[in-house]
Amino acid sequence: MPRITPKSPETAQGSVKQGYEMFETRFGIIPEPLRMLSVSPALFDIQLARSNYFASQSNLSFSLLAHIRYMAARQLEYRFCTDLNKAILEKQGATEADFKAMEADPTQCLLEENEGAMLAFVVKAMKDPASITDQDVDALREFGWTDRDMVDAMAQGVSMIDHAIMMQVFDMNPHCLI
């Protein structure tokens, strides 16, 4: 039982209700981290704006974003987002063998080479931020990535940290029902 009382779809109002409806329509579920944020409508709105940004204004593909979230959540042992993004990637054709290969070497993913390089960069940076060198950044630029793209990718990865911790603190359901 959660330590906080998130808004239910029946009691949600305003932007929380609209956000719930959007996720229900797009994914068939209301993600548990979003339900958690429903107790703070301003934070809910920030998360919704962030989701909308990545869906419509970022240069990063939906598949790359799902790969980043999967690998970041897995590293953080954030079960809900690991399971959710694994399900998304499975719908794109990923198999258990693909996950094992990617977990051993992020460049061994179901992405184009440039996106695999970005995924590997984010994974490396999250494991050891001080390990990133000018050469790592330059290599991404050689693939055509911009500074904005790199910041967007890192923001997507590190955004798992706050939700992973908050989900544990507030004893939210870690199971993804997708």
Q: For helices 134-142 and 147-169, what crossing angle results, to 10°?
A: 120
- The mean pLDDT value for 70-76 works out to 96
Rounded to whole angstroms, how far apart are CA atoms 130 and 24? 39
Tell me the backbone φ, ψ of residue 89, rounded to 5 degrees.
-70, -35
Per residue in 39-68, pLDDT tens? 999 999 999 999 999 999 999 999 999 999
Taken in order of first residue, the domains within the chain and their CATH numbers are 14-57 (no CATH), 62-168 (1.20.1290.10)
- The mean pLDDT value for 79-87 works out to 93
pLDDT over 90 at 20, yes or no: yes
Per residue in 109-157, pLDDT tens? 999 999 999 999 999 999 999 999 999 999 999 999 999 999 999 999 9
Band the pLDDT of 1: cuts 50, 70, 90. confident
pLDDT over 70 at 178, yes or no: no
Mean of pLDDT over the chain:
95
